[in-house]
Amino acid sequence: MSEVLRLVLADDHEVTRTGFVALLASHPHFVVVGQARDGKEAIDLCDLMSPDIVILDIRMPVLNGLAAARTLRERLPSIKVVIFTMDDSPEHLEAAMNAGAVGYLLKDASRDEVIDALQRIAAGEEVLNSAVSARLLRRMTERTASGAIHSEQLTARERQVLALVANGFSNREIGEQLGITTGTAKAHVERVIAKLGATDRTQAAVKGIALGLVAQP
């Protein structure tokens, strides 16, 4: 990574914001260009600053992080949304994924874990806390067992695509792996998402793992 990535940070606790800025202060590839105390301020800052990544706490006054994420997905879809929270509930992880977040990090993560996650997110990957993800997978598996999740049968090619999606591959990378065009890969991904009743790639990957269609990366 050679370019400097611009971040907006939203958290209603000044100590948390100060600590996060200090955490990244010595890193050459990240700079916090704006700080917000609530979700509305975060959206306004993103409108003004056009950052690469916005980092949102969930519990904030005026507008919470999940609502802010949904608004940003509609208004500024090029900005990558990361949830940074103390909340380790699978319900909030699932809600964050549905809101368009590509990262879900807990505030007890180490500096190295945070930086590694941001670098992977900047490179196009989706990074979810592994412990919370595991609980969400168990939760979704229980839903499957009770008949709450239904999916059409995926073709062999669609399973290949789903496996690559679950490993964080972009449409271009999927095309390269399978020897097909990026457009064809995109069409396969969209069909997989539709068949699984998912809202996006991340949810499709989680559902695919929960249903046993692909192995957990």
Do 70 and 42 meet the contact criterion of CB atoms below 8 Å apart? Answer: no
Q: How far is CA 201 from the centre of its chain?
A: 9
Q: How far is CA 211 from the centre of its chain?
A: 20
Do 100 and 70 meet the contact criterion of CB atoms below 8 Å apart? Answer: yes
Beta bridge partners of 31: 6
Q: What is the fold of 149-210?
A: Arc Repressor Mutant, subunit A (1.10.10)
In terms of pTM, does the model score above 0.85?
A: no
Do 192 and 165 meet the contact criterion of CB atoms below 8 Å apart? Answer: yes
Angle formed at CA 121 by CA 120 and CA 124, multiple of 5 degrees: 90
Q: One-letter amino acid identity for 163? A: A
pLDDT given at position 75: 94
Q: One-letter amino acid identity for 52? A: D
pLDDT given at position 134: 56
Q: What is the fold of 5-135?
A: Rossmann fold (3.40.50)
Q: Mind listing the pLDDT tens digit of every residue in the chain (217 residues)?
A: 458 899 999 999 999 999 999 988 888 889 999 999 999 999 999 999 999 999 999 989 999 998 999 999 999 999 999 999 888 777 777 788 888 888 888 888 888 888 988 988 988 888 776 555 555 555 555 555 544 444 557 888 999 999 998 888 889 999 999 999 999 999 999 989 888 877 788 778 877 877 778 776 5
Task: Quickly tell me which residue has 């271009």 as its tokens.
Answer: 172
pLDDT given at position 144: 52
Q: Are strands 80-85 and 5-10 parallel, antiparallel or unpaired?
A: unpaired
pLDDT given at position 26: 82
The closest of 25, 31, 217 to 127, measured between CA atoms, is 217
pLDDT given at position 135: 54
Do 146 and 127 meet the contact criterion of CB atoms below 8 Å apart? Answer: no
Query: What are the sequence ranges of the domains in the chain?
Result: 5-135, 149-210
Per residue in 64-85, pLDDT tens?
Answer: 998 999 999 999 999 999 999 8
